Amino acid sequence: MATPPDAVHGPGAPGDAFEVHLSNFTGPFDLLLSLIAKHRLDITEIALAQVTDEFIAYIRAAERDLGTTSEFLLVAATLLDLKAARLLPAGDVEDAEDLELLEARDLLFARLLQYRAYKQLAGVFAERLDIESRRVPRDVALEPHLAALLPELEWTTSPADLAALAAAALAPKPPPPGVDTTHLHAPTVSVREQAAVVVALLRGPSGDHVGPVSFRTIVAGAATPGVVVARFLALLELFREGVVAFDQVTPLGELTVRWTGATQGEVSVQGDFDDPVAVEAVPGEAVHHG
């Protein structure tokens, strides 16, 4: 079979490329792939077994590398799958299995086109590398009229200056400043002491009930978050003793506390926070009622 005049072998193709000799085609293997891709040659008319035998003889005669063999095996496997898929009758699709075979045929044809594109691109890269390898950079001295424009080097650093710089660079570094950790240890806040403050606030200065007091007011005079927590725990202990009551009109609303215990006398606060102790109202405690 004569080679078509519009066939393209791709850039960088070697002169001793693998050729096939079939009953319906004689020429380079790349040209065979090109004709199959352009639908000018039916894959079902190609004797792939004969192509494989000729390639085996080709690599044995020239002792080709493993890359050439692997490349041919990939293309041959694709052609074999494509030929098997093309043997499916082109009639109506009767079931899902036939549809899958048709989709596989299209996929194999796409793989063949993809291989051809990569091969041509590799040829372009090879040609560019060959051209660029012939380029030689210009390596000459600076021209005299340009060398005359360079300023004279003036060395102004004395040996003493160099010694001072070296001493400063090699001098031991001072240790980093220490970190003060005293702020990490907050003073302990006594729950029983804060309970006395809460009792004095709820009872009032004269012992009569001052009415509901908001929790915000109870912790308003707290100097630290620890005092707020201690007063909250004191309220829980007083509630367990039954001397205070909590009111909250709406969910997440303002929490108010009412004194329900005796107006005078000591209040026993027992808990896990401090030792059991009888708490009295702290006289003279400055509080703000809310």
Q: What is the DSSP string of 171-193?
A: SPPPPPPP---GGGSPPP--HHH
Instruction: Using CB atoms within 10 Å of the CB of residue 191, give its burial: 0 to 12 exposed, 13 to 18 middle, 19+ buried.
Output: buried
**Which CATH superfamily hosts domain 191-279?**
Structural maintenance of chromosome 1. Chain E (1.10.10.580)
Give me the pLDDT at residue 168, please: 92
Low-confidence stretches of the chain (pLDDT < 70) are 1-56, 58-110, 112-113, 182-183, 185-187, 205-210, 265, 270-290
Domain limits, the chain? 19-132, 191-279
User: Coil, strand or helix: which one is 268?
Assistant: strand
Give me the pLDDT at residue 195, please: 87
Crossing angle of helices 29-37 and 96-132, in 10° steps, is 130
- Residues pairing with 267 in the sheet: 279
Assigned token pair, 47 = 């004797």
- Cα–Cα dist 32/41, whole Å: 8
Give me the pLDDT at residue 169, please: 92
Question: Contact, 108 vs 32, CB < 8 A?
Answer: no
Give me the pLDDT at residue 250, please: 87
From the centroid of its chain, how far is CA 22? 55
Percent of the chain scored above 90 by pLDDT? Answer: 8
Give me the pLDDT at residue 160, please: 92
Give me the pLDDT at residue 88, please: 57
Give me the pLDDT at residue 193, please: 86
- Residues pairing with 244 in the sheet: 259
Sheet holding 244-247, edge to edge: 213-214, 256-259, 244-247
